[in-house]
Amino acid sequence: MHEQEKDIATRNTRPRRGLWSAIFGRGVVAALMLLAQFGFLFVLFGRLQQYSMYVSWAVELLTGVFLIYLLSTRSNPGVKLSWCVIIALVPVFGVLLYLFITFDVGHRRERRLLLGMVEESAAYMPDQAELMERLKREEPGFFPIASYAARHNGYPVYTNTEAVYFPSGESKYAALLEELEKAERFIFLEYFIVEEGEMWDGVLDILARKARQGVDVRVLYDGTCSLLRLPSSYPKTLRAMGIRCKVFAPIRPFISTSYNNRDHRKIVVIDGKVGFTGGVNLADEYINRREKFGRWKDAAVLLRGDGVRSLTVMFLRLWNAGEKDRPYSPYLLPPAPAGQANSGYVIPYGDSPLDNELTGEMVYLDILATARDYVYIMTPYLILDNEMLTALTFAARRGVDVRLILPGIPDKKYANILAKGHYRALTEAGVRIYEYTPGFIHSKVFLSDDTKAVVGTINLDYRSLYLHFECAAYLYKSPAIADVRRDFADTFPQCREITAEDAAKLKLSTRLAAAVLKVAAPLM
């Protein structure tokens, strides 16, 4: 088929959103329903003005009780502060909003199902007793975080796992297409963003062909895609191609707060042998086929070997939730008989908002606390809680070379203002801040002392650290760490360093906006 005919055929198979869908799509309907909901509450309380004195007493009592309750909870201090301000300013609506989110209306069943999947799948993780004893003797600097990941999160440490680092979306995409072509048994894809375009077309062409060949192809994407990027009927389109598809947590106003816990993970598993994770979604800006906020820089990692088991289990936990038949074993390969020479150690791990364990933040804090020489970080967002700000500044104060690479062209103005609000405290402590001048940094990478690296989906903001389903790969003494170091070395010259003097000269309007936004940052 000629290229032009192929393009026409591809376009003709895509569902057309049209004007009607644009006007009455889920996003618009959701917004109208939420506005109607709040409008009803305003009218209701407006009619109680004749009892203003009693209403005032009730509101004051309600505010006092809830403020005392909030201060007694075990939640993050920044989150407490945000809720206290909201409830103090708009007591009735603040309390109702807090109850709505805290009680997790309409989401409790899903919560139980997902926690059940974690317990059920724990039996499929390898026994670590012998390896952990060896790590305790031979790798005392790595053993504590490996023990934490295994004991409190159920994510083992693996040998026999090759890691390949990709410093761009383009390099990851090329490798992804190559590995997808090799699939013989199954392909699992889980993404936060899937959007029609050149990148997705290239993947979809292979997925459809593999499905026709009898390969078990499954696609799981986050429900926000149906609001902004894909037609709500898109799962039917994929199923017509033989591809099994699910949408994680579709947004349903009134009955659910699940929109607050998004599936931000990016996972690909092929035959249980090869896995991908990292920041790269399936949309054209990630491979710079479409310019969006300048040049888009991202990072990803390929795992080949035993460590793919954890990525497979992570995918199946979400996919199997609510299913009667929940097989794991057919998709899990037996461990390799002997270790690969010089492959180092890998911990593929996930973070869930359901288990009250802040795995993503704990891993980052551990790297900062144990660093001796340096910690280099790439992150698109810098919305820090007190713990992370303290860890960054303390590491710098004790002589560690702490460097942050942030976007030169931000995608969200409020996030950029919040990041700048931290510049002065960070630079005064000795943290070096770089802004990537060609465009937008979407990479989520930590590197320390040439021995430790984390590549994944976890941003330095409240949503990633507290609210989203996330994942990453922790590399220790892996040969791929040298490639991560090389990526930082190549990226620093493309950045503008923000000095303490620059931070001190920040516009008054920006500082004021940052101060105001910090109060609401934990709820953004």
pLDDT for residue 177: 98
**Helix runs in 260-333, H state only:** 308-320
pLDDT for residue 43: 63
Q: Which of 36-50, 125-139, 172-186, 230-244 has the lowest mean pLDDT?
A: 36-50
Q: Domain segments of the chain: what residues?
A: 3-102, 108-343, 359-523
Q: Name the superfamily (CATH) of residues 359-523.
A: Endonuclease Chain A (3.30.870.10)
C-beta of residue 247 within 8 angstroms of C-beta of residue 219 = no
The answer, yes or no, to whether residue 422 has pLDDT greater than 90, is yes
Which CATH code, of 3.30.870.10, 3.30.420.40, 3.30.365.10, 3.40.30.10, is assigned to 108-343? 3.30.870.10
- Per-residue pLDDT tens over the stretch 171-180: 999 999 999 9
- Per-residue pLDDT tens over the stretch 311-358: 999 999 999 987 888 899 999 998 876 555 578 999 999 999 888 889
**Helix runs in 142-263, H state only:** 143-153, 169-181, 198-212, 225-228, 234-240
CA distance 256 to 105: 5
Note whether 108-343 and 359-523 share their fold. Answer: yes
Helix axes 77-89 and 52-72, enclosed angle (nearest 10): 180
Q: Which two tokens stand for residue 321?
A: 């939730």
Share of the chain above pLDDT 70, in %: 84
The answer, yes or no, to whether residue 398 has pLDDT greater than 70, is yes
CA distance 130 to 134: 6
Share of the chain above pLDDT 90, in %: 61
Q: Which string of DSSP letters, residue by residue, matches 321-389? A: TT-S----GGG-PPPPSSPPTT--EEEEEEE-TTSS--HHHHHHHHHHHH-SSEEEEE-S-B---HHHH
Residue 507 burial (CB count, 10 A):
9
